[in-house]
Structure 1
Amino acid sequence: MAKAQETVLEINLGALTHNFNYLKSKLQPNTKFLAVVKAFAYGSDAICIAKHLQNLHVDYLAVAYTKEGIALRDAGITLPILVLHPQPINFKKIIEGCLEPSLYSPKILTEFISVAEQEVQNNYPVHIKFNTGLNRLGFWENDIDYIVTKLKNTNSIIAKSLFSHLAASEDKNEERFTKNQINTFKTLVTEFKSKINYSPWTHLCNTSGVINYPEAHLDMVRCGIGLYGFGNSTKENSNLKPIANLKSVISQIHKLEPNETVGYNRAYTAKHFEKTATIPIGHADGIGRQFGNGKGYVIINNKKATIIGNICMDMIMVNITDIECNEGDEVIVFDNSHKANELAIAVNTISYEILTSISQRVKRSILS
């Protein structure tokens, strides 16, 4: 693997294949696999990732917003694509792009039926979302009669699936809550199916649900973070491979005398004779201000170099007083050995935020 000569996000498709196969191995043969590729495939490259998953014969893709789904269609992705948070202004575009919306409220259901009828659709596939405890989006149990009536009174749409979202499937301390969610969902599915003359698919599990609650795999599972290399526990992280390596390079080395300051607002003061390295990556690239002032770090020649001072828009400065290095040397922000979830702990966030914050201006390099 070539050493970085500029800031670059390497995307390892071999690691993606490994993660897909590992998660798939947890499922029964007939359980379908939906891959979540929202937010530029968790900060990587949605088109590249979606094409690779399509080659791996994943069953479904999911995005958050219509624009993301349209971009995949424009790139030649033919898999069914679930739009998790559609807005009525985009309903016509959803139909034009053969995307499948999540319908989660009476208003959204009514408005999509209206657009589908205007577009002369017949049995257009939609996905009905129920709220079982996350309290973010979704119909309630007592909406079932309303939904069924609306579905029976139109030929324009058909419920392809019923689904919900687990709130704390990674947390063993919340096992009772999660099992209550699972039971609530199974109960409302039974009621829904008893009142309509066909049988929609059901899906509930995210990555942690796949790992921790096999009884809830149902007809399909939805995996996001696991595909990108994180399983929300130390044990499962060891079974997965992060697909992204964020690297950069030392632009310049400075020697500081005691009491000299570094960066904006003179936020760091040298305590003695010190050396710093300036690296071309900053908050415009996804390294937020919370990384600065001794909280975040990078790896240079296998040693941890603490970020000092305030994060700049395009640069960070790190302390290399005890590290042998030169201008032009490679810098690792995170990779398969120095993982994003470990960096996340240092700056009091989660791996999801570290990954999805990487700016689109950072060069992407695809590794097979």
Structure 2
Amino acid sequence: MDKTQETILEIDLNAVTHNLKYLKSKLQSKTKFLAVVKAFAYGSDAEQIALHLQDLDVDYFAVAYTSEGVVLRDAGITKPILVLHPQPINFKTIIDRCLEPSLYSARVLKTFIECTKKEKQTNYPIHIKFNTGLNRLGFWENDIDFIHTQLKETNSVKVASVFSHLAASEDLQEKEFTNTQISCFTNTSKKLVALLGYHPMLHLCNTSGILNYPEAHLDMVRCGIGLYGFGNSKEESKNLKPIAALKSVISQIHLIEKGETVGYNRAFKSEKKLKTATVPIGHADGIGRHFGNENGFVFVNNAKCNIIGNVCMDMIMIDVTNVDCNEGDEIIIFNNQHTAEHLAEAIDTISYELITSISRRIKRKFTK
């Protein structure tokens, strides 16, 4: 592949295909697969990733917000799209664009039913979310009678699925807690289904749930981070391929004398002669200031080079004293060898935060 001449995020659609096949290999043939493409498909490109996955015949998509679902519809996505965190102000848009809301509280359930009645809908698909321990969004088990009362009084909506979310499925030390969540969801969903008189889909597992709790795959699984190449454990990450490579170039090389400083606030002071390289990527691109002052690093000609001084809005400076390099040479922030997971660990965060922070101003390039 040609060396880059600018800051670019390369997205490998073949890696997406590989990850999907691996994750689906863990499922029973009857289990549906929902692809989570919120947050610009975890910092990559929601439209292109979703179109690729639609061609691979995933069953469902999920986004966080209504606006994300609208973008997918405009891009040509025809599969069902679950909106995980809808707000009542957007309910008419949800109906207009054939999106499917997660309803998680009395307020949103009643408001959405009112909206569907006003829009003269019949059996509009909704998804009922229960809180089983994450304590973020969701009805409680003691809300079942209320939910049933609301639903039996109208034919404007119909439950397409009942679901919950695991809090610690990647941590096998929390197996007891996760099993308690699974048991709670099993009991709660069984009670609601009995009252409904029909069987909506049940889903509970995220990526780590797919890998660690096969007994909880149920009717459908929801996969986010795994599709993008991270398995939440070193063992499982080996089976997946990171889909994105963030690359840039050396704009200029400086020779720094002992006692000179580099960057804003003179945050780095040289204790000896050294060589620095300036790279066109900064905190406005997703490389936060916490990467600076030798916490973060990049790779130049496969050599690890620390970021020195404060990260600027549009630039970083790196120490290339012991590296044979020239202006215009390619640098790697992360790829499938030097992964975002490794870089994130260096600054005590997670791959999710790093990859979803990549600015939209960085050019995307797709390979297949």
Q: TM-score, normalised on structure 1?
A: 1.00
**Separation in structure 2 between the aligned mates of residue 195 and residue 251 of structure 1, nearest angstrom:** 65
Query: Which amino acid in the other structure matches residue 233 of structure 1?
Result: S
Please state if 1:344 is matched with 2:348: no
Work out the CA distance in 2 between the residues paired with 1:215 and 1:30.
14
Q: Spell out, residue by residue over 1:26-77, the C-alpha distance to the aligned partner (whole angstroms, 9 max, x if none).
A: 0000000000000000000000000000000000000000000000101111
- Structure 1 SS opposite 2:10: strand
Deviation per CA, 1:229-288: give whole Å up to 9, x if none. 000000000000000000000000000000100000000001101000000000000000
- 1:353 aligns to what? 353
Q: Take 2:48 and 2:347, find their aligned partners in 1: how far apart are those partners?
A: 29
**Partner Cα distance (2:197, 2:237) in 1:** 43
Other-structure match for 1:110: 110
Residues 130-152 of structure 1 show CA distances to partners (whole Å, capped at 9, x for unaligned) of 00000000000000011011111
Matches within 5 A, 1:8-27: 8-27=8-27
CA distance in 2, matches of 1:195, 1:160: 15
Structure 1 partner of 2:224: 224
Task: Find the residue that maps to 1:194 and give its secondary structure.
Answer: helix
Alignment coverage as a number of residue pairs? 368
Cross-structure match for 2:160: 160
2:193 aligned with 1:193: yes
Match of 1:333, SS?
Answer: strand
Distance in 2 (alpha carbons) for counterparts of 1:124 and 1:307:
52
Q: How does 1:253-332 map to 2 (within 5 A)?
A: 253-332=253-332
Q: Secondary structure at the match of 1:195?
A: helix
User: Once the 2 structures are TM-superposed, how far is the Cα of residue 13 of structure 1 from its aligned partner?
Assistant: 0.1
The Cα of 1:86 is off from its aligned counterpart by: 0.1
For 2:174, the aligned partner's letter is: E
User: Residue in 1 aligned with 2:72?
Assistant: 72
Q: Which residue type is aligned with residue 128 of structure 1?
A: I
Aligned partner letter, 1:286: G
Instruction: For 1:57 and 1:153, locate their aligned partners in 2 and report how far apart those are by CA, in whole Å.
Output: 36
TM value normalised by structure 2: 1.00
**Whole-Å Cα distance in 2 between the matches of residues 137 and 189 of structure 1?**
16
Q: Whole-Å Cα distance in 2 between the matches of residues 129 and 196 of structure 1?
A: 15
The structural deviation recorded for 1:353 is 0.4
Q: Distance in 1 between matches of 2:228 and 2:207?
A: 11
Does 1:143 pair with 2:146? no
1:196-251: CA deviation from partner (whole Å, max 9, x where unpaired): 11111100000000000000000000000000000000000000000000000000
Q: Secondary structure at the match of 2:196?
A: coil
1:189, distance to aligned residue in structure 2 (A): 1.1
What is the CA-CA distance between 1:190 and the residue it aligns to? 1.0
Structure 1 residue ranges without an equivalent (≥5): none
Provide the secondary structure at the position in 2 that maps to 1:155. Answer: coil
Aligned counterparts of 1:29 and 1:172: Cα–Cα separation in 2? 26
Which aligned runs of 4 or more in structure 1 are off by greater than 2 angstroms? none
Work out the CA distance in 2 between the residues paired with 1:195 and 1:73.
Answer: 34
Deviation at 1:365, TM superposition (A): 0.2
SS at match of 2:102: strand
Q: CA deviation at 1:2?
A: 1.3
Gaps of 5+ in 2: none
* 2:42 corresponding residue in structure 1: 42
Pair 1:181-2:172 in alignment: no
Mapped partners of 2:74, 2:111: distance in 1: 26
Q: Determine the structure 2 residue equivalent to 1:236.
A: 236
Tell me the CA shift for residue 154 of structure 1. 0.6
User: What residue is the counterpart of 2:61 in the other structure?
Assistant: 61
Q: Distance in 2 between matches of 1:320 and 1:39?
A: 34
Q: Distance in 2 between matches of 1:195 and 1:284?
A: 51
Counterpart of 1:109, as a letter, is L
Instruction: Quote the sequence identity (%).
Output: 67
Query: 1:27 & 1:172 partners in 2: Cα distance?
Result: 20
One-letter identity of the residue aligned with 1:239: N
1:51 counterpart SS class: helix
C-alpha distance in 2, partners of 1:72/1:328? 37
Partners of 2:151 and 2:2 in 1: CA distance:
56
Structure 2 counterpart SS, 1:72: helix
C-alpha distance in structure 2 between counterparts of 1:71 and 1:332, whole Å: 30
Q: RMSD in angstroms over aligned alpha carbons?
A: 0.4
